[in-house]
Amino acid sequence: MPALDTQTKVAVVGAGAMGSGIAQVAAQAGHQVYLHDQREGAAEAGRDGIARQLQRRVDKGKMPQQELDAVIGRIQAVAKLDEVADAGLVIEAIIEDLDIKRQLLANLEDLCAGDAILATNTSSISVTALGAEMTRPERLVGMHFFNPAPLMALVEVVMGLATSKTIAETVHATAAAWGKKPVYATSTPGFIVNRVARPFYAESLRLLQEQATDAATLDAIIREAGQFRMGAFELTDLIGHDVNYAVTNSVFNAYFQDPRFRPSLTQKELVEAGRLGRKNGQGFYPYGEGAEKPEPQTEPTRQSEETVLIVEGNPGAAAPLLQRLKEAGLTLVERDGPGQLRFGDAVLALTDGRMATERAATDGIANLVLFDLAFDYRTASRLALAAADQTSEAAISSACALLQKAGIAISLIADRPGLLVMRTVAMLANEAADAALHGVATIADIDLAMKAGLNYPEGPLSWSDRLGAGHVFNVLTNIQNSYAEDRYRPALLLRKNAFAQKGFYS
């Protein structure tokens, strides 16, 4: 279906940050836009806020003044809801309350023409439930933008049970015409992003609760090794713990308290203490004047005269690390083996989901030190290491010295299953695979949503494929065995692909 013509008027109901942002997007795309809010003066304030935002672009030379004037000229603040009656697309962006949204949609059905599309920007309420009391629920579709709407590329086009395929396709095409990256999703709890992203927060929170290391170190590892834009603690401080914790609880309860989505006691404590993050000056980190963010724990430089690295077998996903070590001046000697490295007193291996202590005892490996996954070992500036309880201090020093020779900062964390980046990526891929299995979205749309909506360095299913067929399944199986918890059960599609020795895109 083609996109809506720019002659089609667009109405946005709700002039808060999200609603105003959506209005700006539509106006910049060339539509005449009505901006309405029931609060007196809110629509005008929203329009003025858009003007201020765009004026900054003009002042920096990124937008001509006449373009700003044209955009603002296309946005009309309206005081009464019935003034949006001739809009061809109405997007509601009001409070996340089922009954209030239903009442608004009923009013819009009465006001607007029969062929007008009604869209909801809800992030957590079922589109099916919102449309259940409408006369024509087929005209309702989810159009979930991400904050800030003018900057974030993703729009989830969410289809309820009754949503017309034609309407969904029109909205999808319209979002693309507005310069966005739209994806289709079915109306299930959390849609794509708010469901699949849960493990990103959950695994860091779990490791913090298990005293693997501190928040600043975990954030540094996920950024500098995983190449995520922000660590989980920085991000939840930015979002607000009240908001993030509420979304986690919503998804947890919506999925009948499936342990995969279990909320964190650590985050619950922060919310109960009123430490909500940046918004009130204290979360995992302090904010405000004079506040200093703690530094991550980094191992001091270790010295080693050893220059020979023995490579036993194929190191798999860690293979790019070998070239980096070779360029650092080490001599590589290759021989058969289980995919591990020997340097000085240490045996190093990429985590397979088991604790180092368990793996050392089970496989009979003396002085084992495990290293974490990196998005790109050629450029990673930090790696997490975990040593088995049986490993000597000399071996730990050798392992640190090896990676430091390649210019990699080392964070030595407590021995926990899967370390941090590996278990986070594995759990993201697991949730993505389960969403694909249940038809929430296509594999390609899930990966696109996580990249465009949250700036992930790679889609979790693409990343899973890059690690190799069955790799994520094996990691999760080992983590599940370690914890004996259903939380880490591998998704059926991951299991199937592992036994078929194929990836999601093959």
**pLDDT tens-digit profile of 177-218?**
999 999 999 999 999 999 999 999 999 999 999 999 999 999
User: For 31-35, 247-251, 289-293, which range has the lowest pLDDT when averaged over its residues?
Assistant: 289-293
Last residue of a domain, one of 412, 447, 463: 412
Size of the chain, expressed as the number of residues it contains: 506
153 shares a domain with 136: yes
Residues 425 and 391 in one domain: no
Outline where 117-164 has alpha helix (H). Answer: 127-131
Q: Which two tokens stand for residue 144?
A: 């979930």
Residues 52 and 149 reside in one and the same domain: yes
Given this model, what pLDDT does residue 199 score?
97
Q: What is the mean pLDDT of residues 56-62?
A: 95
> What is the C-alpha to C-alpha distance for residues 153 and 176, in angstroms, rounded to an integer?
10
Question: Do 225 and 275 lie in a common domain?
Answer: yes
Name which of 146, 108, 105 is nearest 127 in CA terms.
105
**Which structure tokens are listed for 155?**
């729009």
Task: Identify whether residues 254 and 236 lie together within a single domain.
Answer: yes
Domain's final residue, options 360, 380, 412: 412
Q: Residue 420 has which token pair?
A: 């941090």
E strand intervals along 70-169: 75-78, 89-92, 117-120, 140-145, 154-159
In-domain check, residue 63: yes
The verdict on whether 156 is a catalytic residue reads: yes
Domain check: are 376 and 453 in the same one? no
Number of H-type helices and E-type strands within the chain: 20, 15
pTM: 0.96
Instruction: Mark whether 21 and 153 lie in a shared domain.
Output: yes
Residue 334: domain span: 308-412
Do 15 and 142 lie in a common domain? Answer: yes
In this structure, how many other beta carbons lie within 10 angstroms of the beta carbon of residue 333?
11
Q: Of residues 121, 187, 194, 464, which has the active-site annotation?
A: 194
**Torsion-angle region of residue 326: left (phi > 0), alpha (psi -120 to 50) or beta?**
alpha
Tens digit of each residue's pLDDT (9 = 90 or more) over 161-182: 999 999 999 999 999 999 999 9
The residue annotated as part of the active site, out of 20, 36, 109, 123, is: 123
Average pLDDT over residues 218-233: 98
Report DSSP letters for 402-438, one per residue.
HHHHTT-EEEE----TTTTHHHHHHHHHHHHHHHHHT
Query: Is residue 136 in some structural domain?
Result: yes
Q: Which pLDDT tens digit goes with each residue over 476-498?
A: 999 999 999 999 999 999 999 99
Rounded to the nearest integer, the mean pLDDT of the chain is 97
Pair of tokens at residue 14: 């709700």
One domain for residues 182 and 327: no
How many percent of the chain have pLDDT more than 90? 98
- CATH of residue 157's domain is 3.40.50.720
Which is nearest to 476 in space by CA: 466, 464, 377, 358? 464
- pLDDT digit string, tens, across residues 327-350: 999 999 999 999 999 999 999 999
Write the CATH number for 493.
1.10.1040.50
CA distance 134 to 112: 13
Kindly state whether residues 123 and 231 are assigned to the same domain.
no
Indicate the residue among 392, 412, 432 that finishes a domain: 412
Residue 406's CATH number: 3.30.750.190
Query: Which member of 144, 172, 241, 471 is catalytic?
Result: 144
Active-site position among 20, 109, 121, 156? 156
3-state DSSP assignment of residue 466: helix
Do 3 and 174 contact (CB within 8 A), yes or no? yes
223 within domain boundaries:
yes
Interval 359-408: pLDDT, tens:
999 999 999 999 999 999 999 999 999 999 999 999 999 999 999 999 99
Structure tokens at 375: 């998005």
Report yes or no on 2 lying in a domain.
no
φ and ψ of 272, to 5 deg: -65, -30
Read off the tokens for 16: 């808060």
Is there a catalytic annotation at residue 471? no
Pairs from 483-490 (Cβ < 8 Å, separation ≥ 24)? 483/417, 485/259, 486/259, 486/260, 487/259, 487/260, 487/262, 488/427, 488/430, 489/260, 490/430
297: in domain: no
For this structure, is 123 an active site residue? Answer: yes
Do the domain assignments include residue 118? yes
Where b means 16+ CB within 10 Å and e means fewer, 354-386 reads bbbbbbbeeeebebbbbbbbbbebeebebbbbb
344 with 364: CB under 8 angstroms?
Answer: no
Residue 29 within any structural domain of the chain: yes
397 is catalytic: no
Whether residue 323 is found in the same domain as residue 428: no
Same domain, 33 and 99: yes
Instruction: Work out how many domains the chain is built from and give that number.
Output: 3
| 213: three-class secondary structure by DSSP | coil
Residue 422 lies in a domain: yes
